[in-house]
Amino acid sequence: MRYFIDLQYDGAAYCGWQRQPDATTVQGVIEEKLSMLLRADTEIVGAGRTDTGVNASYYVAHFDTDVALDTQQLRYKLNKVLPPDIAILRIREVGPTLHARFDAREREYTYFLTQRKSPFRRFSAWYYTADIDVERMNAAAAKLLEYEDFTSFAKLNSNNKTNICHITYARWVVEDDGTLRFTIRADRFLRNMVRAIVGTLVDVGRGRYTVSEFEDIIRSKDLSRCSSGAPACGLFLSGVKYDE
């Protein structure tokens, strides 16, 4: 039987999602606790990687077991033994072939930027003090929907089979408290892609690049042309969708 786990995590203490030798990761911690509760070595498969320090307000993983589970009871027990920076939202049985990674048809990331110093957002938003033009940033973000090859924002040596992604939404919104929220959706994302895009869009907003120059960066397929990646603390994986 296959079960999906819907969860959240604060990534500040972790070297990303994916299990690594001699490093604390979200996958590794959950596998350890789940295996303990099920009394069997249990591997979980996530919807995708998140890098060191990146958060998830909604993440999906799956695991297989031969035992029928009380999912409500397992969720309760798992939350009791997991550290406070990982929360299990739901555990549900799914079809035996539904795959958390390969069957995800859309992923959503959200990035938060604040221009007002706050002790409560220091691990969940980029504190950025320069003046930025949100309208110009949105004009540049709209250009992302016109392209498919995002080599300019792909981390080197990532072993991607392809740098093709289909972005369906990319927009900045100013929230009531002045926080800037960037939301981007696509069928897939390259490693470090969203942080590289955000960093470059912010440079558009502060006048380093024009919208036309941002488009030239996309077309160049040259990573050296984009800006430094935005800090990991402001980035959240915020949605994963399936055809269930």
What pLDDT digit, counting tens, does each position of 8-62 carry?
Answer: 999 999 999 999 989 999 999 999 999 999 999 999 999 999 999 999 999 999 9
What is the number of structural domains in the chain? Answer: 2
Within a domain: 39: yes
Residues with catalytic roles: 51
Are 82 and 88 a contacting pair, CB within 8 Å? Answer: yes
Are 226 and 152 a contacting pair, CB within 8 Å? Answer: yes
Domain boundaries, position 212: 106-242
Side chain identity at residue 182, one-letter code: F
113/165 same-domain check: yes
24/115 same-domain check: no
Last residue of a domain, one of 94, 114, 139: 94
Last residue of a domain, one of 71, 94, 117: 94
Q: Kindly state the percentage of the chain with pLDDT values over 70.
A: 98
153/226 same-domain check: yes
To 5 degrees, how large is the angle CA 178–CA 182–CA 183?
A: 135
Last residue of a domain, one of 31, 65, 94: 94
Q: What is the pTM of this model?
A: 0.94
48/131 same-domain check: no
> How confident is the model at residue 157, as a pLDDT?
63
59/154 same-domain check: no
Within a domain: 100: no
> How confident is the model at residue 159, as a pLDDT?
67
113/90 same-domain check: no
Residues 163-172, buried b or exposed e (16+ Cβ, 10 A)?
A: bebebeebeb
32/123 same-domain check: no
174/154 same-domain check: yes
Cα separation values, 2 from 66, 192, 204, Å: 9, 30, 45
122/212 same-domain check: yes
Provide the CA 229 distance to its chain's centre, in angstroms.
14
pLDDT tens string 135-167:
999 999 999 999 999 999 988 666 678 999 999
Within a domain: 47: yes
Tokens describing residue 82: 């997991």
